Amino acid sequence: MATKLAVLTSGGDAPGMNAALRSVVRAAIYRDWNVVGIARGFAGLLEEEFRPLFRRSVGGIIHRGGTMLRTARCEAFATVEGQRQALAFLERIGVDRLIVIGGDGSMAGARALAEAGLPTVTIPGTIDNDMAGTDYTIGFDSAVNTALQAVNMIRDTAYSHERIAIVEVMGRHSGHIALSTAAACGAEFVLVPELTFHMDDLTAKLRRCRYDGKKHGIIIVAEGVMSGYELAERLHAVTDYEPSITVLGYIQRGGAPSAYDVTTASRMGDLAVDIAAEPGAGHLIAMRDNRIVAVPYADIGDTKRGLDMQLYQLIDELSM
C-alpha cells in the first residue's frame, strides 16, 4: 500500500509556513506518496476536516504569508482522549505518517502522537524563535524585518520631533523579536520578558544620551513585559519625557516571507519528508550550527532557546 502522509499547520501562523507546506507536499509526491492536508491544525484532526493535496494544490503560495491550511490552538487535543480520537481518525483514512508545522505546543502534540505509535516529524514554525532543540524557527526573519521596516519609519519622525518613541513588538514569553529588532534598528533600550526590567536603568540610559546631545530615542518593548502604553505612563511619571507609542501587533505575523524563510522552509520541508520515510517514532527538524538536521524528540530538553546576551550588551554599547 502506498505511503499516505498527512500535513498540518498549528499554533500561531508564521511567514514561510506556506513555503514549508509546498515543499512537504511536492517532496512527498516526488516519492509517489499520497498526501492529505488537515485543516486548522489539531482541531481539524478532531473535526475530521481534510482534503487530498496534489502538486498544483500548493501552486502560487510560496510567497504568501499565513497558511493555506489555516491554523488553530486546540485545547481538546491536549487530552489523551483527544489524541486517541485523532489517531483513530488518521488510521481510518489510511494515514501512516504526519508532518506538523508549528511551535513548541505543536511539537508537544506531534510528540504525543509519536509516543502513541504514529511516526511524526515537526518542522519548527513560529515567529518567536524560542523553540527548544533548534536555533531557528521559520517566520522569525520575516517578522523581524517587518518590525525593522516599521521602526525605521518611526525613527524618522522621532528624530524630527526630538522625541522618545516606544515600539511594542510581539513576544508574550520570548524576547527574540524585540532583541533582534532592537539590534537591527539601533534602539537605545530594549525590554524582554527573560530579563527583569528596572526603570532606573532606562532613565539612566536616556540621561546619558541626552547629556551626549542625543535628542531622540527608540525603546523596543516585548509585549510580554508590559504594554507600550504602560511603559510610556511609567516613564512619564518619573521624567519629563512624553514618548510616542506604536504597537506593531499582528503585522509582524503576516506578510510575505523573507528569502531566508522561504529557503529554510523549503529545505526543512524536504528533510522532513526524508526523515518521515525512515523507520522511527518522531523527530524535530532543527537548525544547528547553520545546518538543517533531524533531532529525535527524546533528545530535546524542555529548555527554550535562550537570549543572546552578547547581542543585548552590544545594543547598549552601540546606542550611546
C-alpha cell at 93: 483514512
> Binding to ligand F6P by residue 40, rule CB under 6 A?
no
Given the DSSP bridges, would you call strands 164-169 and 217-222 parallel, antiparallel or unpaired? Answer: parallel
Measured from the CB of residue 128, what is the shortest distance to ligand F6P in angstroms?
Answer: 5
128 carries an active-site annotation: yes
Site size for ligand F6P, by CB under 6 A?
Answer: 8
Out of 23, 126, 266, 319, name the contact with ligand F6P by CB under 6 A.
126
Q: How far is the CB of 224 from ligand F6P (least distance, A)?
A: 7
Nearer to ligand F6P, 127 or 209 (CB): 127
Among 29, 107, 113, 170, binds ligand F6P (CB under 6 A): 170
Contact call for residue 231 and ligand F6P (CB under 6 A) = no
The answer to the question of residue 144 lying near ligand F6P (CB under 6 A) is no
Contact between 257 and ligand F6P by CB under 6 A: the answer reads no
Q: How far is the CB of 242 from ligand F6P (least distance, A)?
A: 28
Q: Which three cell numbers stand for residue 103?
A: 511551535
Residues 2-31 that bind ligand F6P (CB under 6 A): 12
**Interaction between residue 167 and ligand F6P (CB under 6 A):** no
Q: Which is nearer to ligand F6P, 119 or 125 (CB)?
A: 125
Stretch that binds ligand F6P, among 1-9, 22-30, 165-173, 262-270 (CB under 6 A): 165-173
Say if CB 90 and CB 6 are below 8 A apart. yes
Q: Is 128 in the site for ligand F6P (CB under 6 A)?
A: yes
Which residues have CB under 8 Å from 270's CB, separation 6+?
Answer: 23, 27
Q: Binding string, 171-190, against ligand F6P, x = CB under 6 A? A: xx------------------
- C-alpha distances in Å from residue 49, one per residue of 6, 168, 196: 12, 36, 44
Q: Which residue is nearest to ligand F6P (CB)?
A: 12
Using the rule CB under 6 A, which residue among 118, 127, 167, 191 binds ligand F6P?
127
Q: How many CA atoms lie within 13 A of 28 on its CB side?
A: 33
CB of 245: closest distance to ligand F6P in angstroms?
18
Identity of the residue, 251 or 281, whose beta carbon is nearer to ligand F6P in the bound complex: 251
Q: Which residue number, 35 or 39, has a Cβ lying nearer to ligand F6P?
A: 39
Q: Cα angle vertex 116, ends 25, 66, to 5°?
A: 35
221 binds ligand F6P (CB under 6 A): no
- Which residue in the list 13, 104, 128, 261 is annotated as catalytic? 128
Instruction: Compute how many other C-beta atoms are within 10 angstroms of the C-beta atom of residue 116.
Output: 14
Q: Cα-flanking dihedrals φ and ψ of residue 98, to 5°?
A: -135, 135
Specify whether the CB–CB gap between 87 and 43 falls below 8 A: no
Q: By C-beta, is 12 or 119 nearer to ligand F6P?
A: 12
Q: Which residue numbers are catalytic?
A: 128
Residues in contact with ligand F6P by CB under 6 A are 12, 126-128, 170-172, 253
